[in-house]
């Protein structure tokens, strides 16, 4: 079928209808706010914790407790290892977490980091009965 200049075929009209909804679909997805933060100017302090966790305790429960216990300077909590086997008691597993703290204006001192680590471990023990894995 040949179409003269200025005329539309039925295929062109169908394609135009299909694409007419595309901007609205894109706009509905654009309602999510994008947040930007300046790059940090102070170094992060990272520690790794290997914890003996009962098989009945969800990793998400441990993570939520870590976040709550970590305080306002806790920037990130990351589960990076799970181990079962030799040296781990029956019904338990070892979950290893990396905790990252950062003060926005200065470098954290070793004493401060150790205090935060101790606080996290105390809360894990009291609330969930979770203790660090022996080296």
Residues 10-64: tens digit of each pLDDT: 666 555 555 555 555 555 555 678 888 889 999 999 999 999 999 999 999 999 9
Q: Give the pLDDT of residue 89.
A: 95
**125 or 32, higher pLDDT:** 125
Report all structural domains of the chain as residue ranges with CATH numbers, in order of start.
45-132 (3.30.70.380)
Q: What is the pTM of this model?
A: 0.71
pLDDT tier, 2 (very low <50, low <70, confident <90, very high otherwise): low
> Distance between terminal CA atoms of the chain?
79
Q: Residue 99: which of 81, 121, 117, 122 has the closest Cα?
A: 117
Q: How many percent of the chain have pLDDT more than 70?
A: 76
How far is 84 from 106, CA to CA, in rounded Å? 39
CB 69 within 8 A of CB 34: no
């Amino acid at each position: 079928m040949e179409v003269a200049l200025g005329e539309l075929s039925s295929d062109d009209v169908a394609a135009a209808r299909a694409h007419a909804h595309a901007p609205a679909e894109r706009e509905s997805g654009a309602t999510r706010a994008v947040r930007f933060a300046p790059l940090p100017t102070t170094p992060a302090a990272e520690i790794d914790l290997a914890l003996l966790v009962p098989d009945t305790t969800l990793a998400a429960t441990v993570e939520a407790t870590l976040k709550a216990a970590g305080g306002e300077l806790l920037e990130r909590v990351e589960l990076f290892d799970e181990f079962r086997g030799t040296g781990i008691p029956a019904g338990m597993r070892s979950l290893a977490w990396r905790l990252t703290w950062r003060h926005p204006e200065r470098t954290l001192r070793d004493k401060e980091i150790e205090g935060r680590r101790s606080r996290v471990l105390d809360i894990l023990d009291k609330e969930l009965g979770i203790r660090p894995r022996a080296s």
